[in-house]
Structure formats: C-alpha cells, structure tokens
Amino acid sequence: MQREIVLVPDPRLSTPCASVENFGEEVRQLVEDLTDTMRAGVGSVGVAAPQIGEMWRVAVVDTSNHRKFGPASQGFFALINPKITTREGEREGREGCMSLPDFTANVRRAQTVTVQYQTVEGEVKTVVCTDFEAVAMQHEIDHLDGILFLDRVSNLQTDVFPRKKK
C-alpha cells in the first residue's frame, strides 16, 4: 500500500532507526509498503522506513527504471539492517528527496560502496554498488541514521537549488 511521505522538518527524519530483530509478516508488509510508495514517486529510486513514519532500519532501492542510469542497475533491493562496510573514491552529483520535494543539491558521496544487509527472511547478503546506485544506497542508509542529504551539502548557499517544476 502506498503510504504518505513524511516531510522535513518532521523530527522522525533526524532520528536514528532501530534494528529489525524479528523477521515476520510485519517486515514483509513494511517492505511492500515502501516498494509501493517508491514506485508511486515520480523518478524515485529509493525510500526508507522513516520517510513513511516507521522507525526501523528498512529501505528499498531500485535504480533499474531510471532513464539515465537504469542499464547499470543491479535491480531491486529490500535492505533490512543495512550498513556500509567499505567506501571507495568520491563523486559529486545532484540529489533530491521525497521528504524535501522542493529542492535538490550537489552532494559528495563515495563512488563505490559495499553494503551488507539482511533479506526479509533474515539472510545476510553483501552487494558492491558503484556510481548512481552507490549514491542511492548511501542516501537511503543515511535516512536510517537520521541524516538528510542537506546535512551532507558543503555550502547551503551555492549547492542547494529549487527543484524544477514539471
């Protein structure tokens, strides 16, 4: 079920989330709701649980439908208790967020990340992501740590832009 997006300045967006310990129907339903919400967002490639008001370390990422970066995508990820175990390189790119819909910003991120996570069944997996997919992973994991993309902007006056209306 598509859920309403929590918007800045809601304090849940700056609160670290609790780890998931019970892998049951509630987690499956949360992943389904996150997936429906992400797919309903125009151009969205990920959403994290606090963005729909749930304070658990759960996020979904899928860059495969992105018009520019989709061909390089590894597909859909349901991330339970994700953590970045390695970061390599650096890149700067424009980011937006459904919780802050009126702005985009230039954000510096790692070029490549290794992410360890659990599946909805609790199985531990590891994935290496690069470029745009790595940025999406970092952005969503930041949400689980109570960090917004604006928190990573070097200069709020020169690196934040009003989002173009379609």
What domain range includes position 66? 11-162
Rounded Cα distance, 119 and 48, in Å: 15
List residues with catalytic annotation. 140
Inside any domain, residue 2: no
pLDDT in the model for residue 130: 97
State which amino acid sits at residue 29.
Answer: Q
Inside any domain, residue 4: no
pLDDT in the model for residue 10: 98
pLDDT in the model for residue 42: 80
Inside any domain, residue 151: yes
**What would the pLDDT profile of 99-145 be if each residue is shown by its tens digit?**
999 999 999 999 999 999 999 999 999 999 999 999 999 999 999 99
Q: What is the CATH number of the domain that holds 117?
A: 3.90.45.10
| pLDDT > 90 fraction of the chain, expressed in percent and rounded | 90
Structurally, the chain folds into a number of domains equal to 1
pLDDT in the model for residue 166: 59
**Cis before 9? omega within 30:** yes
**Long-range pairs for 5-8: beta carbons < 8 A, 24 or more residues apart:** 5/37, 5/41, 5/47, 5/51, 5/52, 5/98, 5/99, 5/101, 6/50, 6/51, 6/52, 6/53, 6/99, 7/99, 7/100, 7/101, 8/99, 8/100, 8/148
Residue with more model confidence, 68 or 108: 108
pLDDT in the model for residue 41: 84
Per the prediction, the chain carries an average pLDDT of 96
Inside any domain, residue 107: yes
Inside any domain, residue 3: no
pLDDT band at 164, cuts 50/70/90? confident
Asked if pLDDT for residue 165 goes beyond 80, the answer is no
| pLDDT > 70 fraction of the chain, expressed in percent and rounded | 99
